[in-house]
A = this chain, B = another copy of it.
Amino acid sequence: MNTPKSYDTCWLKFQPIKDKQIIDKYSSSCSKIVLDENNLYLKAISKELKNGLKELLGFNPDCTDYLPDSGAIILGRIGQFSFVDDLLESHEQEGLNTEGFIIKSISSKGHKRILISAKSDNGLLYGVFRFLLHLSIEESLEDLYIFENPRSELRMINHWDNLDGSIERGYAGKSIFYENNNLVQNTERLIDYARLLATVGINSIVINNVNVHSNETELINQKISITKKLAEVFREYGIRTFLSINYASPIQSGELDSADPCDLKVIEWWESVISNLYKEIPDFGGFLVKADSEHRPGPLTYGRDHAQGANMLAKILKSYNGILIWRCFVYNCKQDWRDVTTDRAKAAYDIYKQFDGAFLDNVVLQIKNGPMDFQVREPVSPLLGAMPHTSQILELQITQEYTGQQIHLCYLIPQWKEILNFDTYAKGKGSTIKKVVGGLLHETKLNGFAAVVNVGNDFNWTGHYLAQANLYGYGKLAWNPDVSTEEITKEWIRLTFGKDGEIESVLLKMLLDSWLVYESYTSPLGLGWMVTPGSHYGPSVDGYEYSPWGTYHRADNKMIGIDRTSSGGTGFTKQYFKENENAYEYQTSCPEELILFFHRLSYTHKLKSGKTLIQHIYDTHFEGVQKVKDMKAKWESLRGKIDEHRFEHILARLTLQEEHTKEWCDVINSYFYRKTGISDIHGRNIY
């Protein structure tokens, strides 16, 4: 039995199964584990299987290295364990990729056997977890057949944790990694975190904030022992450790007076630091760099370009099989909102497109999903898919910076699915983002996903219990972006709240609706940024309107929205491939949910619904309030069906959300009513 933990176990519950019949059925296949005793597999693989079975079924399974005359689980890597090889068809052996796995039930001589196999330790580990989760929700083992390959190579989590224990844009407490400029004392929770990540197939982790302050600069150098210890924890679960680095490290951690990537002393400094890193952490993943952005140093500081800046580091990392991830979130902070020709949305494409083909093949560009910054609704970044000779990964934000900060329920899988299914037309119809980042569109060496995580040391990890679903769903999508939102969501609900039709139906609806509900009362028609500057929480319609970039809404008393067309606007539409350019360029073809992102319209502009734009704003905001009320009522209908702690905690968040939704509605509607003087046709209260 598990000893009670000081934190929630999320979707990895492994509660003892109570149904005697099910225990009996499972036991007939699971009482023994056949594994190659000579293997050097990750210890976690057999340990997790044994512990998991014990927790679920209540007994310690025997381990053997021969085929017993009874039911058993056969566990091993293809090509290393003959029992395994014998049970696999050749198409199965060939079909698995490096990290894929196969689980199948086999009836042999009247015995029920389960095969869990893969070509790598990671594949085996994923198979074991998948099998245990299958048992934990008491699914049948009859004719079990699961064959899965991850679609992407990099399935990465980014932590914005700082060594002092703070988390930039963290909404779930303090860091689970660090406290007082050191590693946390008790690493038990870290191991459970690695387990959680492994169950959803995460294989890479960046352990510190992309904004690298002075303490964190030393993680490659004086504080390398912290990096090493974290790498040990994650290695055991198949996760490679990466660091965000400070491009000015040679100055700040070393004693050089420059960090110029063409300076030999600088190169030598990095060679020595990286050599030492790999001596300590032989499977170290590499670096993530936010360079020349938001006041971070970078190659431009020294008159070098991004390719020169990245390649210098990539060349050194390459000899150790390391990767350099270069983050394309760069914009000139010195722009002036008064200059209507500038457009922050254009920055990444303008800056990086020209470097296609100029990066070494172990450089990956990490590109945010939208051209702005993780807004509730943005078009997809035109840079994605537009650099055929450059590896690109998609950056998503699990932590809800602009999407309610884990106070509001905002389930992001529907948003991410839309992004992944977006057709770039980079190589004609069907050139979707999921193909771009899956490496299926252009033949790039590296591919995949990164996402800023939403966990902290809150009891429930994510502030809002239901925000756990965003982490779960991210892993599942990074593994396979073709799985449906509904499938992922139902799976998470079952693992987290058990199999119960009513709970499933209520939660499914709450989760699936939540993003559009959040959008309805915050960001009409593709506008974003109407949030309190700094905190990014709560409404402030003009909050960013006069900040340097200022290309946000430009609302006056007649018109609103940014003209980004090439006829009279900023010309951002031209960054897209023809089909999308044409769609966005014209009011008639532009998707309405993005219309104010691309077009400047009168408040009396008629939308497809027949409503005026201003009436649409009023209506969606009032409706948003009602929808959150309804959502809360739905949740309340589950009272008694869910343990009191989680029930009340989620209810409290929904109550807060309801209150803050009202604030959003009132502020946004009042702002536009006061500005336009146009009354709500339904005569509702606007202040």
- Please tell me if the beta carbons of A670 and B539 are within 8 angstroms of each other in the complex: no
Q: Which residues does chain B contribute within 8 Å of A556, judged by CB atoms?
A: 673-675, 677
- Please tell me if the beta carbons of A671 and B542 are within 8 angstroms of each other in the complex: yes
Whether A223 is near chain B, meaning CB under 8 Å from some CB there, is no
- Please tell me if the beta carbons of B541 and A666 are within 8 angstroms of each other in the complex: no
Q: Which residues does chain B contribute within 8 Å of A337, judged by CB atoms?
A: 687
Whether A676 is near chain B, meaning CB under 8 Å from some CB there, is yes
Tell me the residues in window 668-685 of chain A with beta carbons closer than 8 Å to chain B beta carbons.
670-671, 673-677, 685
- Please tell me if the beta carbons of B542 and A540 are within 8 angstroms of each other in the complex: yes
Whether A124 is near chain B, meaning CB under 8 Å from some CB there, is no
Stoichiometry (number of copies)? 2
Number of interface residues of A (CB under 8 A): 29
Distance A125 CA – B534 CA, assembled complex (angstroms): 50
- Please tell me if the beta carbons of B540 and A677 are within 8 angstroms of each other in the complex: no
Q: Which residues does chain B contribute within 8 Å of A663, judged by CB atoms?
A: 546
Whether A555 is near chain B, meaning CB under 8 Å from some CB there, is yes
Contact with B along A517-552 (1 / 0, CB 8 A): 000000000000000111000011111001000000
Q: Which residues does chain B contribute within 8 Å of A534, judged by CB atoms?
A: 534
Whether A304 is near chain B, meaning CB under 8 Å from some CB there, is no
> Which chain B residue has the least Cβ–Cβ distance from A542?
B542
A136 to chain B, nearest CB (A): 46
Whether A558 is near chain B, meaning CB under 8 Å from some CB there, is yes
Whether A557 is near chain B, meaning CB under 8 Å from some CB there, is yes
Distance A541 CA – B541 CA, assembled complex (angstroms): 11
Distance A163 CA – B685 CA, assembled complex (angstroms): 48
- Please tell me if the beta carbons of B555 and A666 are within 8 angstroms of each other in the complex: no
- Please tell me if the beta carbons of B667 and A558 are within 8 angstroms of each other in the complex: no
Whether A338 is near chain B, meaning CB under 8 Å from some CB there, is yes
Distance A674 CA – B685 CA, assembled complex (angstroms): 24
Q: Which residues does chain B contribute within 8 Å of A673, judged by CB atoms?
A: 556
Q: Which residues does chain B contribute within 8 Å of A542, judged by CB atoms?
A: 540-542, 671
Q: Which residues does chain B contribute within 8 Å of A670, judged by CB atoms?
A: 546
> Which chain B residue has the least Cβ–Cβ distance from A558?
B677
A617 to chain B, nearest CB (A): 15
- Please tell me if the beta carbons of A677 and B338 are within 8 angstroms of each other in the complex: no
Q: Which residues does chain B contribute within 8 Å of A338, judged by CB atoms?
A: 666, 685, 687
Q: Which residues does chain B contribute within 8 Å of A674, judged by CB atoms?
A: 554-557, 675
> Which chain B residue has the least Cβ–Cβ distance from A673?
B556
A552 to chain B, nearest CB (A): 13
- Please tell me if the beta carbons of A557 and B677 are within 8 angstroms of each other in the complex: yes
A110 to chain B, nearest CB (A): 73
- Please tell me if the beta carbons of A546 and B677 are within 8 angstroms of each other in the complex: no
> Which chain B residue has the least Cβ–Cβ distance from A671?
B542
Residue in A337, A541, A543, A675 with the greatest tally of chain B CB atoms within 10 Å: A675
Residue in A543, A558, A670 with the greatest tally of chain B CB atoms within 10 Å: A670
Distance A533 CA – B540 CA, assembled complex (angstroms): 11
Distance A188 CA – B273 CA, assembled complex (angstroms): 47
Q: Which residues does chain B contribute within 8 Å of A677, judged by CB atoms?
A: 556-558
> Which chain B residue has the least Cβ–Cβ distance from A554?
B674
A344 to chain B, nearest CB (A): 16
- Please tell me if the beta carbons of A666 and B557 are within 8 angstroms of each other in the complex: no
12 further contact pairs, Cβ within 8 A, besides A546-B666, A557-B676: A337-B687, A338-B687, A532-B533, A534-B534, A542-B542, A546-B663, A556-B673, A556-B675, A557-B675, A557-B677, A674-B675, A675-B675
6 contacts between A and B (CB under 8 A): A337-B687, A338-B685, A534-B534, A540-B543, A556-B675, A557-B677
A contact set with B: CB distance below 8 Å: 337-338, 340, 532-534, 539-543, 546, 554-558, 663, 666-667, 670-671, 673-677, 685, 687
